[in-house]
Amino acid sequence: TRIRNLQDLDENVDEEDWDRCFNMNVKSHLFLMHAARPHLDEAEGAFITTASLAGVKVSGSSMAYAVTKAAQIHLVKALAMAAGPRIRVNSVSPGLLLTDWGLQFSEEQREAMREKTRLKRLPTVDDVADQVLCFAKSRSVTGANVVIDGGLSL
C-alpha cells in the first residue's frame, strides 16, 4: 500500500487501496485457512498469521492497512472459535522490522523509533520467528495475538 498520512481522511479514501488491503490482510487468511483446514485438523496443527502493530495501535502506512490488520487480528479469534478443538489459530504483530521495508527509513528515523521502545531495540525477523515457533509448539494457546515491538506500544 502507498504510504499515506493517517490523519488526513481525504488522503485515505482510495477504494483500490482498501480492496487490496482487505483482500491481502483478511480474505486471504480466511480462504487459506478454509483450504488448509482438513490437513491442519488431521495433524492437530497450528495456523499462524503475521498481522502488525498497526492492527493494535493505529499506525502504519495507511488507514486501510491499519484497519485491515485490526480485522485480521479479530479474524484470528473468529477462526480459533471455528477451528477448535484440533486446530490452534494465532497471530504475531511485529512493529518496525529491519527488512527491506524497514530499511527504507533513514538511520536517524530508525534510531528515533528504537529510542521510543522500552527495550531500546527494534525487533528482528528472528524475534518474530521465535514467537511463531512458540505458537507452533504450544498446545494450549489459541485466539492469541502477540505484539513484538520492544515495548513501543506500552
Single out the catalytic residue among 52, 59, 62, 93: 52
**DSSP result, the chain:** -----TT-TGGG--HHHHHHHHIIIIIHHHHHHHHHHHHHHHHT-EEEEE--GGGTSS-SS-HHHHHHHHHHHHHHHHHHHHHTTT-EEEEEEE---SSTTGGGS-HHHHHHHHHHSTTSS---HHHHHHHHHHHHH-SS--S-EEEESTTTT-
Single out the catalytic residue among 59, 69, 91, 93: 69
Told to judge if 52 belongs to the known catalytic residues of this protein, a careful annotator would answer yes
Single out the catalytic residue among 59, 62, 65, 93: 65
Told to judge if 120 belongs to the known catalytic residues of this protein, a careful annotator would answer no
Told to judge if 27 belongs to the known catalytic residues of this protein, a careful annotator would answer no
Give the residue numbers annotated as catalytic, written as ranges. Answer: 52, 65, 69
